[in-house]
Structure 1
Amino acid sequence: MENVCLSEELIKSQVLCAPETKVVIHGEDCSVYKIENETGEGVITRYPVFPGIEILYNDIHMTNGVSHNEAPRPNVVEINHCRVGRFECEFSRGGSIYLGEGDLAVNVMTNITNQTWFPLSHYHGITIAVDIPVAESILKQLSEVMGKGLDFDLSAIRDRLCAKNSCFVMRATDSIQHIFSELYRVPQDLKDGYFKIKVIELFLFLNSPELVNKREERQYFSRKQIDKIKEIRQYLIDNVAQHITLNELSQQFNFPLTSMKLCFKEVYGSTINGYMQAYRVQMAAKFLRETTDCVTEIALKVGYQNSSKFAELFKQFMGQPPSEYRKSFVQ
């Protein structure tokens, strides 16, 4: 019963959860939680690993996350890995961090989350929650059995990576990919033992003193700037058939050009032009699947006067010309 209570406390500390989260399944070996609001929904599946350690699989299809009113918890750390999509976390003390595909973040729960967003409207990733005093007790027992090499200090890892109450962010590397990629395809009958092995492997990785030198330092953008970038993105989408230059955007939204470009890339993980190219292709693909409009008409609808240039771009993104793409959806 004590371990169940511990897990409930840990799940409430996650940046993707809130007290109002609905419990879909509550089991000893697996629990499923659902978040839902006007922008979509998310499902989080939780597995206990060791006492004080649990893994959560996050499958989010929404834009706005949840607000948080968490009490500071210096002994709880969460480790987040982004597999697909993008995740934005705003802290109560100010500032935001963004995780893109393959990125890793380590945060101590005295660095309180104020709000979360998902700029691309989808996010798939893993959270590993650690209650340090409880986890260290079981890990100490393991090190006594298995010998030297597993005697890492979780408190020291927290203090080194999250110094001055900061969030440690490390951009995608082969090492991170190796550790987490296997966690996304664990056979169901091997989960219990495999989770334990992978968590220990992750702690060994985080225990490296050299890791702190790989911290990603990002330029700070205010909430006002970030909100304005989201307005710019919405404006571009609402006027997707028009050709709007970056200089025009800068002037219209009173946002210095260089800062606007940097802030957009931080929020959405892409340049403005690159983001809109991908958006236009996805919108065109939807028209090809769901309407009988000719390719030239669709090109105009998504902002391309030259249908040949549009077809070339479409093939670059989708792997085939618009006409062939449409045929593949005709019964």
Structure 2
Amino acid sequence: MLYEYLSSQKHISWNSSLPGVKICQFHLQGCSQDKRLKLSVLSNTHHFEAFFCSGGQLIVESTSTCPVILQSQGIFLLSDESKLCSIQISQDLQGVLIAVNPSAAQSSLSSICHILGLKLDIHAIRKKITNQNGYAILTDIPWAKALFEDLRRLPPDHREGYCVFKTVELLYLFCANTSTAGVLSETSSNAYPSLSISQVRAYLESHLEEKHTIPSLCHRFSLSPTSLKTGFRRMYGQPLHRWLTQQRIHRACELLRQSNLPILTVAQAVGYDSASQFSVVFKRYCGMTPGQFKKMSDSGDPSLF
């Protein structure tokens, strides 16, 4: 869980002023690369976490659902008995993490609720989160947007306390079966990883010269093959391999028009090992060979522009 990982980071300090609750405000600056955390059930922990993400992103991988991305201005509730298998955290991740021990925190959090005229059963909430795959993600609703807008205005030394207060409110809403709780449940189990798909497209556009396979892309972006192929078709209207070929041929046309590079060099610049393989694909899409295209381009044939 996030608590275990952040506790191992020496530069991160924790606030334990509230019994049963540990709080830290952090920014993972200076990390050389993204981290993938393998999660396992720790029988002696018995806690859950609320993470308020103000920068960077998490990629959440479950054993039963498609990967889901939590990005800036999102909230992540995680039980120690979740069905998650890993969490990938970006090197610039930042926010506030609240780690709650239900037994130790019941009295202190209930006291806060008593002041507000509310009742809060921490054990019941933990059980409910566990029954819903053990985690929930809250993004893109007015409640969350207002929270992060308030958080942005607050002085840094007030943000931890504010997040504790909002955690209590969030847990109450989650336990009360309100519409907000419904959004939590729906987001955690059914959200489509559209951000990951757009990241795949951006990555391919800037790496046309490289070899790409479905398994390698799935590994890089923490997607299942079905999520990647189905998601790409839904977002961009065609299979990934067809879109990638079109992008390569489009880039090849630009190079042929704007440079004097040899055909083989152009082919390699867009991901083909040989000029012959490149020529076959190019002719299929453009109706002529790369050499013919280059000759017509040099002559200023307006049909190419």
- Scaled to the shorter chain, the TM-score interval is 0.5 to 0.7
Contact 2:74 2:138 in 1 (8 A): yes
Q: CA RMSD in A?
A: 4.8
The code of the aligned residue for 2:27 comes to: D
Identity of aligned residues (%): 15
Query: Which residue of 78, 88, 92 corresponds with 1:107?
Result: 78
- Structure whose CA Rg is larger: 2
Structure 1 gaps of 5+ residues are 1-12, 25-31, 33-44, 267-271, 277-295, 304-331
Instruction: Show the counterpart of 1:178.
Output: 146
- Pair 261,56 (structure 1): closer, same or farther in 2 beyond 3 Å: farther
**1:173-194 superposed Cα distances (whole Å, 9 cap, x missing partner):** 1101223443355325646764
Instruction: Show the counterpart of 2:2.
Output: 14
Instruction: Show the counterpart of 1:290.
Output: none
- Pair 235,193 (structure 1): closer, same or farther in 2 beyond 3 Å: closer
Describe how 1:225-264 pairs up with structure 2 within 5 A: 236-239=205-208, 259-260=228-229, 262=231
Contact 1:82 1:104 in 2 (8 A): yes
Distance in 2, Cα, partners of 1:84 & 1:207: 27
Instruction: Show the counterpart of 1:23.
Output: 10
TM-score (norm 1): 0.51
Tell me: higher relative CO, structure 1 or 2? Use CA pairs within 8 A at least 6 residues apart: 2
Residue correspondences, number = 227
Instruction: Show the counterpart of 1:324.
Output: none
Residue 47 (str. 1) matches residue 34 (str. 2)? no
Residue 166 (str. 1) matches residue 130 (str. 2)? no
Contact 2:96 2:163 in 1 (8 A): no
Query: Which residue of 86, 100, 104 corresponds with 1:130?
Result: 100
Distance in 2, Cα, partners of 1:206 & 1:117: 25
Distance in 2, Cα, partners of 1:199 & 1:253: 36
Task: Give the helix-richer structure, 1 or 2.
Answer: 2
- Pair 96,104 (structure 1): closer, same or farther in 2 beyond 3 Å: same
Give, in angstroms, the shift of residue 99 of structure 1: 0.8
TM-score (norm 2): 0.55
Give, in angstroms, the shift of residue 167 of structure 1: 1.7
Give, in angstroms, the shift of residue 17 of structure 1: 0.8
Task: Give the strand-richer structure, 1 or 2.
Answer: 1
The code of the aligned residue for 1:78 comes to: E
- Pair 231,73 (structure 1): closer, same or farther in 2 beyond 3 Å: farther
Give, in angstroms, the shift of residue 220 of structure 1: 8.5
Contact 1:82 1:101 in 2 (8 A): yes
